[in-house]
Amino acid sequence: MQIGMIGLGRMGANMVRRLLAGGHQCVVFDRNPAAAQELVALGAVAASSLAGLVEKLTLPRTVWIMLPAGAVEETVTALAPLLTAGDCIVDGGNSPFEAAIRRAQALRSADIDFVDAGVSGGVWGLERGYCLMLGGPAAAVDRLKPLLETLAPGRSGIAPKVEATGSAADGYLHCGPSGAGHFVKMVHNGIEYGLMAAYAEGFNLLQHAGAGLAPDASTEHAERYRYRFDLPAIAELWRRGSVVGSWLLDLTAAALGDDPGLQGFGGRVADSGEGRWTLKAGIDTAVPMPVISAALYARFDSRGEADFADRLLSAMRWQFGGHQEK
């Protein structure tokens, strides 16, 4: 099948590589021409503009966008007049689900399909495949099936306890009408925030379990906290048979194995929006999400956003009790 791919960053470029390996024809465009040329060597066709990309695609066209959320609106606006009835735009980035609903409605009058595709797999997707969460018209999603089957992981490597049926067992799913794919991906990433925070907090406690070994230890019951744990070994251990095993734990073990003290990281944790959007949806629907909320706020804290509050706490302690900072 032929596809046009706009955006050749870490995700987009590897998706093209996987599609090319699966026998698909890929026309690619990126504002950085060098990114496209790397894929030309593998069999892709490069375009120098959006118009050039559309011209190189045969009807009905499928154009997949893999761009940051802030760049999608501009791209869809520029792309829509170049397309004709029966064509399909796929937004595979992390965009708000409300935007997918609005974009689908705007394109409907021109009979252009819009599919919102939540894509999970990160930089490992080329090797492992991508988990694909799709929203939009069923017929449009069905037309994408050859691409989805190539991009998705398939059923190998999974040990199900329940007999799995349908495309979800292959790694892709039509989740519902416009916005459904990005809604499911939004919640997916909110859960990811919580899982990452739980691993980080647990390993942090293991790291500090030797607090009682310090000569000036002020830890209550210091005699109880005299452990020097091998964190890479514990992460590796938990990967094998533990109920907390996961791909995130695999990646945690890899990170600790490469750099046990994590000296290569400053601890400033970004958030790309999905956690905030998940909490907003939770507020709109009155769904309590204390874990995801705490995980998001922890990321704000890691970037120094609590510094003024922390200084004010110290100031109040000084005012009411003359307590010195330690």
pLDDT of residue 158: 63
End-to-end CA distance of the chain: 65
Contact 231, 256 (CB under 8 A): yes
Burial 58-81 (b: 16+ CB within 10 A, else e): eebbbbbbbbebeebeebbeebbe
Q: Phi and psi of 96, rounded to 5°?
A: -60, 140
Contact 135, 178 (CB under 8 A): yes
pLDDT along the chain (326 residues), means of 10: 96 97 97 93 96 97 96 96 97 96 96 97 92 97 97 76 78 96 97 97 96 84 92 96 93 95 94 94 97 97 95 95 90
Active-site option among 38, 192, 274, 325: 192
pLDDT of residue 9: 93
179 vs 99: CA distance, rounded Å: 8
Q: What is the DSSP string of 65-97?
A: E---HHHHHHHHHHHGGG--TT-EEEE-S---H
The amino acid occupying position 310 is: D
Half-sphere exposure at residue 86, Cβ-oriented, CA atoms within 13 angstroms: 5
What proportions of the chain, in percent to the nearest 5, are helix, strand and coil? 50, 10, 35
- How crowded is residue 226: how many other Cβ atoms within 10 Å of its Cβ? 12
Known active-site residue 305: no
pLDDT of residue 317: 95
Known active-site residue 192: yes
Contact 206, 234 (CB under 8 A): yes
Q: What is the DSSP string of 110-127?
A: TT-EEEEEEEE-GGGHHH
Structure tokens at 240: 């094998």
